[in-house]
Amino acid sequence: MQSASSLRGTGCTVNPRISPRRLIARLTVRLELYINLIVVPLAVYYGTIAGGYSGDKLFYLILSAVISATLATLFGMSVRIWKLSGILEALDKGTEDPASIKLKLLSYPTTESFVIALRWVLGLLCNYLIMQLWVGITLSETIPIFFILLLCIPINGIISYCTTEHLLSPVLMDDRIRGVQLPRDSYTLFSVSFRTTAIVVSVLIIPLVTLGHFLFLTRLGELSLSGFPVHVFIILLLSLAAILVTVYESNAGIQSGLKMTVDTLEELEKGNLQVDPIPLLTKGEIGIISQSVNVLAVSLRNSEEIFAKAFGSSPVGIVIVKLSGGLIVDVNDSFVKISGLPRLQVVGRAVTEANLFLTPADYDRMVQTLIEEGRLRNFETDFLTPAGDIRMVAISAEMIMLADESCMIATIEDVTEKKALEKEILLIGEKERQKIGQDLHDDLGPHLIGIEMMSELLKKKLEEEIIPSTDDVEKIRSLIEEAIAKTRRLSRGLCPLFLADHGLESLIQEMASNIKEVYGIDCTFTYGRSILVDDITTCTHIYYIVHEAAYNAIKHGRADKVTIDLAYRDQLVTLTIRDNGHGFSLDEGTQGMGLKIMRFRASMIGADLKIASSASLGTTVTLSFIHETHDDVMRGTGTEP
């Protein structure tokens, strides 16, 4: 069955293989014991009295009943061997889907009940033919046969169903099918209420048929009044035996499944999620509940596994702390890396004892904020490591309940380097502004003053009606042209991205040309198509990443050849900067501020930055990011670009 799933706990143990012969023998002995010691005597006793048999007819009746019961037993055993052997053989050889085998086992008690009904019909038919052949019987002596069918089939059917269900439990608990989950719509529910009703009705039929027949259909006068209570006592005694057997077999399977369900729920309540799956022993409500508990156990195990993996592999530190007393319940590896404290020295200790916070009062403020607001977001504080380093961290937390106790689960992000890079970028920007201010003051300012003075002289000449020479005008025009050029150079220092309006490639082409002209090295730029980056912040970060990579190749790698490639495919922009320089070590501890700033810029725009470097092959810097062009957007909306 394709819709079935398997539910297995790691604590599952393989049960010994069930012997088909032993199972069939146990089932046959138990069923025939109940039939031949309770139901058959009831039928013979009732038939003897109702039919008024005596003498030779009574002898042949008992003899034919023994023969019929023997043949019926052989018939039932043959069907049992045929059906169960096939199911168990498929289980051992694995030729069928385990879910299909489990469904057949659960449906087999119904088959056994039908077989019981059939064997009673065949048995009584055999009994009638033997009696008719040997001694001959009248119509009135034949009528009790129909009442025996009405009397015995219901009680024998329910006994057979419950007994078979009970004795098949060891097979259903076999590890090969124990954890197989059956869809609810794959079988018909045999509810406890219906089972109880069937038992009550089948048991009530016994006194109703027997005593009713004695009172209304037989000649009561022919029965001795002193003997009538004896007949009633024997009928009721056999009825009581049938009740006890039926209730015992019915409750045995239900009780077993209920006990395993309760035990499993108790283990789950204790936090032990590695429980064995509860086998589906019946088609009743207990079976449905047990399967629901199995699903619950698997869901809890999956949730625990997901949390454990997320907890352990998270790049940010995670800590669970009891709010009462501040006891640390658990930490992950990232927390150990950030705090510098071994896990064994942290778990089980109070936060105040671990000396995590540079300012202990910060922890109290953090907890107070969490309790008042119900959540905590980006609470910045400082950690003090055992080595004496101060790490700036940002803490976010939520309140959770563990074993009925309020706890805090907090994520801790080390923002020390991020803050340092932000500060460095601000410092670089400040230096650039100072340099531009210096250029404005020392270069462009005096230049504009010179133009003003020459313009003033030209004005005086015109006021005195002196015709100025073309040389004077040309000097002013030349100075203005030089001022424009200086202004452009300064504007590039303030915002080098004015070329982005014509595409990212024009911006990088200008950079490559400047490098080639200023440093006299081979610097080339190639691209496949024009890419327009509308966001000025993104364009700024891309420009400075390429700028840093190219100038690092010249300054530190001593390269005499730099190639810059721009590729665009499937909305992925890839910028590759290669050089033939000396390369450098990629060890994180030896990386300079320039590389760290490049990585920081890449993270700010959601780009992926990869750096490969070796002494023989030089350095390759690859920047990749997702970018949708106007044509991509139009195609995504189904509009022609």
> For 246-290, how does the pLDDT look when each residue is reduced to its tens digit (9 = 90+)?
788 878 778 888 888 898 888 888 878 888 888 888 888 888 888
Output the pTM of the full model. Answer: 0.58
- In the predicted structure, residue 32 carries a pLDDT above the cut 70: yes
Judge contact between 355 and 451, C-beta under 8 A.
Answer: no
Residue range 363-388: average pLDDT? Answer: 90
- Cα atoms in the 13 Å half-sphere on the side-chain side of 599: 12
Report the chain's terminal Cα–Cα distance, integer Å. Answer: 50
- Residue 5: pLDDT band (50, 70, 90) is very low
- Residue 636: pLDDT band (50, 70, 90) is very low
- Give me the pLDDT at residue 471, please: 78
Q: Does residue 212 or residue 335 have the better pLDDT?
A: 335
**Phi, psi (5° rounding) for residue 636?**
-65, -30
Task: Report how far residue 156's alpha carbon sits from residue 310's, in angstroms, rounded to the nearest whole number.
Answer: 58
Q: Exposed, middle or buried, 531 (CB in 10 Å: 0-12/13-18/19+)?
A: middle
- Domain 314-414: state its class: alpha beta
- In the predicted structure, residue 8 carries a pLDDT above the cut 50: no
Domain ranges of the chain: 18-293, 314-414, 419-494, 498-636
Q: Exposed, middle or buried, 282 (CB in 10 Å: 0-12/13-18/19+)?
A: buried
pLDDT digits 0-9 by tens, 192-228: 888 888 888 887 887 777 776 666 555 444 555 455 6
Q: Exposed, middle or buried, 324 (CB in 10 Å: 0-12/13-18/19+)?
A: exposed
Judge contact between 430 and 448, C-beta under 8 A.
Answer: no
> Which of 186-200, 286-300, 444-458, 469-483 shows the lowest per-residue confidence on average (mean pLDDT)?
444-458
Q: Exposed, middle or buried, 393 (CB in 10 Å: 0-12/13-18/19+)?
A: buried
Q: Does residue 216 or residue 182 have the better pLDDT?
A: 182
- Give me the pLDDT at residue 196, please: 82
- In the predicted structure, residue 498 carries a pLDDT above the cut 60: no
Judge contact between 598 and 541, C-beta under 8 A.
Answer: no
Name the residue with tokens 């007393």: 325
Residue range 154-183: average pLDDT? Answer: 84
> Which of 76-85, 124-133, 266-275, 587-596 shows the lowest per-residue confidence on average (mean pLDDT)?
587-596
- Give me the pLDDT at residue 215, please: 62
The continuous run of DSSP H or E covering 279 comes out as none
- Residue 13: pLDDT band (50, 70, 90) is very low
Q: In this structure, what token pair is assigned to residue 115?
A: 């077989």
567-594 exposure pattern, b = at least 16 Cβ within 10 A, e = fewer: ebeeeebebbbbbbbbbbeeeeeeeeee
Which CATH entry fits the domain spanning 498-636: 3.30.565.10, 2.30.40.10, 3.40.50.1950, 3.20.20.70? 3.30.565.10
Judge contact between 458 and 473, C-beta under 8 A.
Answer: yes
Q: Is 11 helix (H, G, I), strand (E, B) or coil?
A: coil
User: What are the start-end ranges of the H helices in 179-227?
Assistant: 192-212
Neighbouring C-beta atoms of residue 293, cutoff 10 Å:
20
- Give me the pLDDT at residue 220, please: 44
Task: Report how far residue 42's alpha carbon sits from residue 488's, in angstroms, rounded to the nearest whole number.
Answer: 116
Q: Does residue 240 or residue 431 have the better pLDDT?
A: 240
- Give me the pLDDT at residue 119, please: 83
- Give me the pLDDT at residue 411, please: 93
Q: In this structure, what token pair is assigned to residue 497?
A: 């991205």
Residues contacting 510, CB < 8 A, separation 6+? 499
Paired sense of beta strands 180-181 and 375-384, if any: unpaired
